[in-house]
Amino acid sequence: MKRTTAIALIAMANFALAGTSFAQSNGVRATVPFDFTVGSKLLPSGTYTIQRESTNPNVIMIRSHEKHIAVLSLVNQDSNKSPNGGKLRFHKYGGQYFLSEILSDRAGMNVEISPSKTEKRAQLQQATLKSSSETVVAAQ
């Protein structure tokens, strides 16, 4: 009887752990209505899932299953901002959008993406013309 109870408890613990890891692996999901850049990669508008890499918490994977795209990016923890729901923040220079922050309570993700060389170049070009702007997209 004790052996059966022990096996049942171990099985329940495994299911609970599997459910927890599955919930964490879902990450952040957002539909971005415009093309945007991450690092040096231009991504088309669409629905994306953003997850932390399991081997390194400072790396995220941005993936579109509908367009068969996957991009890795380095991130920095951003403890100064409260996620307050879920959102992706973008910097906009001219007609170019650059992913800059991912804030999500549900996924436990509160990270910044450092500006890439491509973004810095766009920022310099825009500085000579006019100021930049910031755009926010809701995420789940």
Whether 21 is in a domain gets the answer no
The total of structural domains in the chain comes to 1
Note down the domain range covering 38.
27-138
Instruction: Single out the residue of 119, 34, 39 nearest to residue 71, CA to CA.
Output: 39
Whether 36 is in a domain gets the answer yes
Whether 2 is in a domain gets the answer no
How far apart, in Å, are the Cα atoms of 85 and each of 92, 102, 109, 129, 133? 22, 11, 11, 34, 22
Q: How far apart are CA 125 and CA 11, in angstroms?
A: 59
Enter the DSSP assignment of 121: H
Whether 87 is in a domain gets the answer yes
Whether 49 is in a domain gets the answer yes
Q: What is the pLDDT of residues 19-44, one digit of tens each?
A: 334 344 568 999 999 999 999 999 99
Whether 132 is in a domain gets the answer yes
Whether 43 is in a domain gets the answer yes
CB 101 within 8 A of CB 89: yes
Q: Report the pLDDT value the prediction gives residue 87, as an integer from 0 to 100.
A: 92
Q: What is the pLDDT of residues 87-140, one digit of tens each?
A: 999 999 988 999 999 998 888 889 999 999 999 998 888 877 665 567 778 777
Model confidence at 79: pLDDT above 80:
no
Whether 1 is in a domain gets the answer no
